[in-house]
Copies of this chain bind each other. A is one copy, B any other.
């Protein structure tokens, strides 16, 4: 059982579901660790990078929200499963493959693929809060609209 109740995309959906947004990138020289493969927290960063790129592409870019917005969507829970090691120079596709939206939180599903095969899958659970009070608030409309494109 996960650390928090999960209502996000199921494992099978992460492995095989349709990619709704894709960010292509290459494994960087410095993403490698002393074991010669990608350091796993770097892959967690890849998930967040795709989330940031997705929001920008769907009309809800984070920089102005952080500069002058009234809300934030901090991550409450993250989970990732690593299926195959990745190495320097590997071309990967980081995909958002689904979302589960609730009143004051949402879960996103991700798949990192290389050569057409899943190398990692993951989920992030975000809560929407007021920037000042840090109390939970309903999802802002611009964010909710962006998430609806994830099907």
How many copies make up the complex? 4
Counting chain A residues whose Cβ lies within 8 A of the other chain, the interface size class is: 35 or more
A34 to B37, CA, bound (A): 8
Does A45 touch B at the CB level, under 8 Å?
A: yes
Q: Is the interface of A mostly helix, strand, loop or mixed?
A: mixed
Contact A75 B40 (CB under 8 A): yes
Set B3, B45, B63: member contacting A123, Cβ < 8 A: B3
Contact B74 A89 (CB under 8 A): no
Task: Report B-chain residues with C-beta under 8 Å of the C-beta of A1.
Answer: 1-2, 6, 10-11
Task: Report B-chain residues with C-beta under 8 Å of the C-beta of A80.
Answer: 3, 77-79
A-B contact pairs, 25 of them (CB 8 A): A1-B10, A2-B6, A3-B123, A4-B81, A29-B34, A29-B35, A29-B48, A29-B62, A30-B33, A30-B34, A32-B34, A34-B87, A35-B72, A35-B74, A40-B78, A41-B41, A41-B44, A41-B45, A62-B89, A74-B82, A74-B85, A76-B82, A77-B79, A77-B81, A78-B79
Since A30-B48, A78-B79 are in contact, a sample of 20 more A-B pairs with Cβ atoms closer than 8 Å, ordered by chain A residue number, is: A3-B122, A3-B123, A4-B81, A28-B49, A30-B33, A34-B63, A35-B66, A35-B72, A35-B74, A37-B74, A40-B44, A40-B75, A40-B78, A41-B41, A44-B78, A66-B88, A74-B82, A76-B81, A77-B82, A79-B79
